């Protein structure tokens, strides 16, 4: 999958085992401070110099205190130098005390680093409605050594119900300089556009202006993190931050730069691959589902329909059971709210055409079942009305999803 993406982007290559500390001047790490029983639960990212920063955030009206603090920090100069992340406690719906703890989390970390308070972003993930044990955070901050780069520890420290870490980095040449974009993310349940119960951290040593970086992140997010779903829930703490410290010393990037498209392709690769890793790691999931809708008159139509299909509980359970129940796919197209001509629709499950011009086609149930037993399943819906298309990702819905979420707090 990654190799196919690489071939589509000139001068782009993967950085093996790359992550948020792959770009020049970045370090990351994690440790156990006692918020979780044994697992690492406090992670950090640090840039040698303040980095131009952009962010996108959850659309949930109940936004956790760390989001408010982080947005306020970024608003001062559009720069962040360090990020502190805790797992095990969301610090959401915690009132004035929660806000005080988020500020203390930021201020103590900035003091330990000797940098201005507004150069620190904070974020939390975990159980909602419980006060953050701030003394444990303070003790954890005392143990952080920013000279010790352990990105693997950072990736583990930000996890909750995830079963695996998620990271990627790519490199490309801009103005004769090697530019790297790295990323790490967490997310497994409560995943649904727009934004999900996910945290995404992207770093780059490219030089780029604040407004341009914000525009780029928003555009890429709409085609990556906002195109995944696990269970239809949107959480209180979700955010994606991108930091660009400029240490690659390229000419400042903008849409007018001759290599802008290459940078955007690289950024898209990182965000899209992280998004797919989140979808594949959905709680209890056994399969990654990719839904491509083509032939739409408008891109929004393709996006809405693809998300409608991949978000359908009935489609997800059919995929889990390796059942080629195409009627569920058609239903999801029909209730998406977008007007299309049902008599033009073609549906494929992998290489197998199950619907053509709105009518069922004869196909081998045995072959379909064999295909659906793969770990990656692709559904293609062609509307035959235009040239626009979109892709969304999700996962199957399994017995384990119910088990995990029935006992989340215990």
Which domains are delineated in the chain? 7-280 (3.60.70.12), 288-406 (3.10.20.340)
Q: What is the largest CA-CA distance in the chain?
A: 69
d(CA 331, CA 91): 39
Q: Give me the pLDDT at residue 222, please.
A: 86
344 secondary structure, DSSP code: G
> Does residue 266 have a cis bond before it (omega within 30 degrees)?
no
* H or E element at residue 242: strand 239-244
> Is residue 118 helix, strand or coil?
helix
Output the six-digit token pair for 162: 């995830």
What's the CA gap between 317 and 335, in Å, rounded? Answer: 18
- 322-350 pLDDT, tens digit per residue, is 999 999 999 999 999 999 999 999 999 99
Full-model pTM: 0.82
- Is residue 125 within 8 Å of residue 185, measured between CB atoms? no
The residue among 18, 78, 7, 51 whose CA lies nearest residue 248 is 51
Between 34-43, 135-144, 179-188, the lowest mean confidence (pLDDT) is in 179-188
Q: Which DSSP category does 319 fall into? A: H
7 band by pLDDT with thresholds 50, 70 and 90: very low
Taking residues 275-287, report their average pLDDT.
Answer: 78
Where would I find the beta strands (DSSP E) of 286-387? 288-296, 346-349, 352-356, 359-360, 376-382
Q: Which of 302, 167, 152 is nearest to 227 (CA)?
A: 302
Query: Who wins on pLDDT, 158 or 222?
Result: 158
Catalytic residue among 123, 197, 236, 294: 197
On whether the CB atoms of residues 250 and 204 are closer than 8 A, the answer is no
Residue 404 pLDDT level (bands cut at 50, 70, 90)? low
Mean pLDDT on 50-56: 96
Higher per-residue confidence, 389 vs 277:
389
The lowest-confidence range among 37-46, 84-93, 270-279, 301-310 is 270-279
The reply to whether 197 belongs to the active site is yes
Residue 315 burial by Cβ neighbours in a 10 Å radius (0-12, 13-18, 19+): buried
User: What pLDDT shows up at residue 16?
Assistant: 52
Share of the chain above pLDDT 90, in %: 73
**Interval 282-296: pLDDT, tens:** 666 788 999 999 999
Please give the average per-residue pLDDT across 27-56, as a whole number. Answer: 96
Yes or no: say if 127 and 93 are a contact pair by the CB < 8 Å rule: no
Tokens encoding 200: 């995404």
Is a pLDDT exceeding 70 seen at residue 205?
A: yes
Tell me the average pLDDT across 199-221.
96
- pLDDT at res. 128: 87
User: Collapsing DSSP states into helix, strand and coil, what is residue 297?
Assistant: coil
How many Cα atoms sit within 13 Å of 298 on the Cβ side? Answer: 6
Residue found by looking up tokens 């950085």 in the block: 15
pLDDT one-digit tens code per residue, 316-329: 999 999 999 999 99
Whole-number Å distance between alpha carbons of 65 and 248: 34
Q: Which residues pair with 180 in a beta bridge?
A: 171
Higher pLDDT, 9 or 402: 402
DSSP state of 253: B
The average pLDDT across 229-243 equals 73
């Amino acid at each position: 999958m990654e190799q196919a993406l690489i071939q589509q982007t000139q001068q782009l290559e993967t950085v093996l085992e790359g992550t948020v500390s792959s770009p020049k001047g970045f370090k990351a790490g994690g440790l156990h401070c006692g918020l979780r029983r044994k697992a690492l639960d406090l992670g950090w990212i640090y840039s040698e110099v303040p980095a131009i920063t952009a962010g996108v955030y959850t659309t949930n009206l109940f936004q956790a205190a760390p989001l408010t603090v982080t947005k306020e920090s970024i608003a001062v100069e559009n720069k962040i130098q360090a990020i502190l992340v805790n797992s095990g406690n969301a610090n959401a719906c915690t009132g004035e005390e929660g806000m005080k703890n988020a500020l203390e989390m930021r201020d103590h970390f900035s003091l330990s680093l000797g940098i201005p308070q507004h150069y620190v972003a904070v974020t939390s993930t975990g159980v909602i409605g419980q006060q953050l044990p701030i003394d444990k955070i303070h003790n954890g901050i005392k143990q952080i050594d920013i000279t010790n780069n352990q990105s693997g520890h950072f990736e583990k420290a930000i996890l909750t119900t995830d079963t695996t870490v998620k990271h990627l980095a790519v490199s490309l040449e801009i103005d004769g300089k090697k530019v790297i974009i790295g990323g790490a993310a967490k997310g497994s349940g409560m995943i649904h556009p727009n934004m999900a119960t996910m945290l995404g951290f992207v770093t780059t040593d490219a030089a780029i202006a604040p407004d341009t970086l914000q525009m780029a992140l928003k555009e890429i997010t709409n085609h990556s993190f906002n195109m995944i779903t696990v269970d239809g829930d949107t959480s209180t703490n979700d955010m994606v931050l991108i930091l660009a410290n400029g240490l690659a010393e390229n000419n400042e990037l903008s849409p007018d730069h001759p290599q802008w498209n290459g940078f955007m392709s690289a950024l898209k690769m990182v965000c899209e691959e992280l998004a797919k890793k989140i979808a594949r790691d959905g709680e209890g999931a056994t399969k990654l589902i990719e839904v491509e809708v083509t032939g739409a008159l408008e891109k929004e139509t393709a996006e809405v329909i693809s998300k409608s299909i991949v978000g359908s509980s009935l489609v997800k359970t059919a995929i889990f059971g390796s059942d080629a129940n195409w009627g569920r796919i058609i239903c999801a197209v029909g209730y998406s709210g977008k007007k299309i001509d049902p008599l033009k629709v073609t549906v494929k499950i992998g290489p197998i055409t199950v619907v053509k011009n709105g009518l069922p086609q004869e196909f081998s149930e045995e072959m379909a079942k064999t295909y659906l037993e793969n770990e990656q399943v692709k559904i293609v819906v062609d509307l035959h009305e235009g040239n626009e298309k979109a892709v969304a990702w999700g996962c199957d819905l399994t017995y384990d999803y119910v088990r995990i979420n029935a006992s989340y707090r215990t």
